[in-house]
């Protein structure tokens, strides 16, 4: 089995009770809810991509505006701010969407240029994709993006050193690690809590996706197919359990998950379930989350973390066979 070792250079203090080591004091008390939206077309989802080559993208129906508009309306209704990870490809074709998100006061971050599976890219290809994405976002009016999220959380242990490339490319935080078992992106042994790559407070800060730790396993709940398929009471319970472990609820969703568009492109029934199951429930779930949560953007959360002298620093990520 492939995993990776982490070498914590410095652990934070051990807080009492249910709060394990690391970044204890700033996060005690009310745990954040952070809404994040990966702004991409329906066909960028990797469940569809295997049926649709990139040279067909420009000929397919664009739905990104409809889903993004609905998301912005809900956020506006509850006067909440969110972080939008925008695909460079989408920013080039719909710069008005970037401007609309910015005008509403939300954070723009980066979701790659062409939605690659990162662990299939060479270092140079990954660097090129990052820089092309930054340029596309800058051209659309967002030159100062700080955050990055890999498509399908595909910064896996084998390419963990690519986090250094993100730092080189000007990103200040990353939200690409998902410490769960999954056939495409699972990395159950990665840290569950934020950490810095280096001692410097300016170092790239990693914010893993939230999980609830139960019986030695990490349980996901906060977005995508997990959020779509989970009944609302189950989501609330898992969120509460994770909060007791001092894990913020970073919700992630896509414009196409808020849409009622359900394309058939030759995918199997199982793939349809993964990509469309529970789709009708997403607008109501987002509405409920917004109505009962105090929200902040990822940038605001990261800025608070940077003040935490006890934040873990982890430098070594060796692949273990």
The residues of the shown chain that bind Zn ion, judged by CB under 5 A, are 38, 40, 151
Q: How far is the CB of 153 from Zn ion (least distance, A)?
A: 9
- Show the tokens assigned to 8: 């914590």
Q: Which is nearer to Zn ion, 151 or 225 (CB)?
A: 151
Q: How far is the CB of 174 from Zn ion (least distance, A)?
A: 14
Q: Which is nearer to Zn ion, 38 or 174 (CB)?
A: 38
Whole-number Å distance between alpha carbons of 298 and 84: 10
Nearest to 152 by CA among 111, 196, 208: 111
DSSP symbol at 295: B
Per residue, the 3-state secondary structure of 80-134, as one string, reads CCCEEEECHHHHHHCHHHHHHHHHCCCEEEECCCCCCCHHHCCHHHHHHHHHHHH
Other residues' Cβ atoms within 10 Å of the Cβ of residue 139: 14
Distances (CA, A) of 277 to 45, 235, 274, 281: 14, 15, 6, 9
Q: Which is nearer to Zn ion, 24 or 116 (CB)?
A: 116
Nearest to 313 by CA among 192, 233, 200: 200
Q: Which is nearer to Zn ion, 56 or 184 (CB)?
A: 184
12, 321 contact by CB (below 8 A): no
Read off φ and ψ for residue 117, nearest 5 degrees: -85, 110
Q: Which is nearer to Zn ion, 107 or 243 (CB)?
A: 107
- Show the tokens assigned to 31: 């745990």
Q: How far is the CB of 89 from Zn ion (least distance, A)?
A: 11
Whole-number Å distance between alpha carbons of 171 and 169: 6
Q: Which is nearer to Zn ion, 206 or 257 (CB)?
A: 257
Q: How far is the CB of 45 from Zn ion (least distance, A)?
A: 7
- Show the tokens assigned to 116: 């690659």
Q: How far is the CB of 171 from Zn ion (least distance, A)?
A: 16
Q: How far is the CB of 127 from Zn ion (least distance, A)?
A: 19
Q: How far is the CB of 209 from Zn ion (least distance, A)?
A: 13
Find all residues with CB under 8 Å of 318, minimum gap 6, and list them.
4, 5
Q: Which is nearer to Zn ion, 49 or 311 (CB)?
A: 49
Q: How far is the CB of 241 from Zn ion (least distance, A)?
A: 27
Whole-number Å distance between alpha carbons of 137 and 110: 8
Q: Which is nearer to Zn ion, 19 or 87 (CB)?
A: 87
């Amino acid at each position: 089995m492939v995993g990776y070792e982490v070498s914590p250079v410095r652990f934070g203090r051990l807080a009492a009770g249910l709060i394990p080591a690391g970044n204890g004091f700033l996060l005690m008390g009310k745990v954040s809810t952070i809404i994040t939206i990966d702004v991409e077309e329906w066909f960028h989802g990797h469940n569809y991509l295997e049926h649709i080559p990139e040279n067909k993208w420009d000929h397919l129906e664009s739905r990104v505006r409809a889903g993004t508009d609905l998301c912005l309306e809900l956020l506006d209704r509850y006067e909440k701010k969110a972080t939008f990870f925008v695909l460079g490809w989408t920013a080039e074709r719909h710069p008005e969407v970037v401007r609309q998100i910015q005008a509403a006061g939300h954070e723009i971050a980066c979701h790659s240029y062409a939605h690659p599976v990162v662990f299939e890219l060479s270092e140079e290809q990954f660097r090129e994709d990052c820089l092309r994405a930054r340029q596309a976002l800058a051209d659309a009016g967002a030159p100062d993006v700080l955050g990055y999220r890999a498509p399908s959380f595909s910064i896996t242990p084998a390419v963990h050193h690519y986090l250094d490339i993100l730092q080189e490319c000007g990103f200040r935080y990353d939200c690409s690690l998902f410490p769960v078992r999954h056939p495409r992106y699972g990395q159950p042994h990665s840290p569950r809590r934020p950490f810095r790559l280096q001692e410097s407070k300016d170092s790239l800060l990693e914010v893993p996706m939230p999980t609830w730790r139960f019986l030695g396993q990490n349980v996901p709940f906060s977005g995508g197919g997990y959020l779509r398929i989970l009944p609302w009471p189950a989501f609330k319970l898992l969120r509460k359990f994770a909060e007791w472990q001092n894990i913020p609820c970073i919700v992630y969703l896509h414009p196409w998950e808020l849409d009622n568009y359900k394309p058939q492109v030759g995918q199997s029934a199982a793939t349809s379930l993964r990509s469309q199951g529970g789709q009708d429930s997403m607008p109501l779930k987002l509405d409920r989350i917004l109505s009962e949560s105090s929200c902040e953007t990822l940038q605001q959360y990261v800025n608070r973390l940077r003040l935490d002298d006890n934040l873990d620093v982890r430098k070594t990520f060796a692949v273990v066979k």
